[in-house]
């Protein structure tokens, strides 16, 4: 059985990481037999120092994109196999935009925003013994702050980051329209990745300004609810 290494559920989400959620949902949609191994210490064993990674009968693959590629090569699982070449190209680029830009908005909303950080800190680190519960979150936050600065998103003001988020949400909302999924009646990797990213604001029990702002796009809210109802009826409280 495939083992998927995750952080474990948080904030009413199957996983706090959009990348982990992306792979988890891909595996659910594919119907392959898999087991999610939830442990924050998985990070220490991760081949690229990041989650997710999978162990497929001894074959260890890190990174959500390479995991998808592996599922295609080894198990013939391709959520985009039915798309036209043009739709597949759009999917590639929108997925990159979600991974490389929207993801950092999610990171900002949790780790940088002072209004939300104490809740995130207690959720992630609250169960550590003294004095680790005071030291580890400080070190971790410093590292995330350095990463988001290095990426560049962290250099913007909160209002500017909200604007950047609106650009993604507006485009996704237009692309989705009133359809059940981005390309009609069937799920594709774009739906999976959009769910993984948008649910961080539409379904997470975290009262961020971003969660308020995304309310302007009812079709995106309904989209994430529909996917949650279908694939996470017991894990996500709606």
Helix 85-97 and helix 189-202: axis angle, to 10°? 30
The pair of structure tokens assigned to 82 is 């039915």
Tell me how crowded residue 24 is: count the other CB atoms within 10 A of its CB: 24
Scanning 63-71, 121-129, 172-180, 228-236 for contacts with ligand GSH by CB under 6 A, the matching segment is: 63-71
Nearer to ligand GSH, 141 or 226 (CB): 141
5 sits near ligand GSH (criterion: CB under 6 A):
no
The count of chain residues that interact with ligand GSH, using the rule CB under 6 A, is 11
Distances from the Cα of 174 to the Cαs of 167, 169, 209, 223, in angstroms? 11, 8, 22, 13
Number of residues that make up the chain: 238
Residue with tokens 């680190």: 125
**Cα separation of 200 and 93, whole Å?**
21
Stretch that binds ligand GSH, among 47-55, 151-159, 169-177, 228-236 (CB under 6 A): 47-55
Residue 15 binds to ligand GSH (criterion: CB under 6 A): no
Q: Out of 19, 34, 169, 183, name the contact with ligand GSH by CB under 6 A.
A: 19
CB nearer ligand GSH, residue 17 or residue 208: 17
Rule CB under 6 A: which of 87-146 touch ligand GSH?
Answer: 99
Q: Which residues 6+ apart lie within 8 Å of 118 measured at CB? A: none
State yes or no: residue 51 binds ligand GSH (CB under 6 A): yes
Whether the upstream peptide bond of residue 120 has omega within 30° of 0, thus cis, is no
From 6, 21, 26, 64, residue interacting with ligand GSH (rule: CB under 6 A): 64
Is 17 a binding residue for ligand GSH by CB under 6 A? The answer is: yes
- Residues at the contact surface with ligand GSH, assessed by CB under 6 A: 17, 19, 43, 49-52, 63-65, 99
């Amino acid at each position: 059985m495939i083992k998927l290494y995750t952080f474990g559920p948080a904030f009413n989400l199957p996983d706090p990481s959009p990348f982990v959620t992306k792979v988890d949902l891909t595996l659910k949609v594919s119907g392959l037999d898999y087991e999610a191994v939830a442990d924050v210490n998985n990070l220490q064993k991760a081949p690229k120092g990041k989650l997710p990674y999978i162990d497929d009968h001894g074959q260890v693959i890190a990174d959500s994109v390479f995991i998808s590629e592996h599922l295609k090569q080894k198990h013939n699982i391709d959520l985009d196999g039915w798309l036209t070449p043009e739709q597949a190209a759009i999917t590639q680029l929108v997925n990159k935009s979600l991974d490389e830009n929207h993801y950092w908005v999610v990171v900002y909303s949790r780790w940088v925003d002072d209004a939300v950080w104490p809740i995130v800190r207690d959720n992630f680190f609250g169960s550590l013994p003294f004095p680790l519960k005071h030291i580890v979150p400080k070190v971790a936050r410093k590292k995330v702050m350095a990463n988001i600065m290095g990426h560049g998103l962290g250099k913007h003001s909160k209002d500017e980051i909200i604007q950047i988020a609106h650009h993604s949400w507006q485009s996704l909302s237009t692309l989705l329209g009133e359809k059940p999924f981005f390309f009609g009646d069937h799920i594709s990797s774009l739906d999976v990745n959009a769910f993984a990213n948008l649910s961080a604001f539409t379904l997470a029990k975290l009262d961020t300004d971003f969660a308020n702002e995304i309310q302007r796009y009812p079709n995106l809210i309904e989209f994430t609810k529909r996917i949650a109802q279908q694939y996470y009826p017991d894990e996500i409280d709606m």
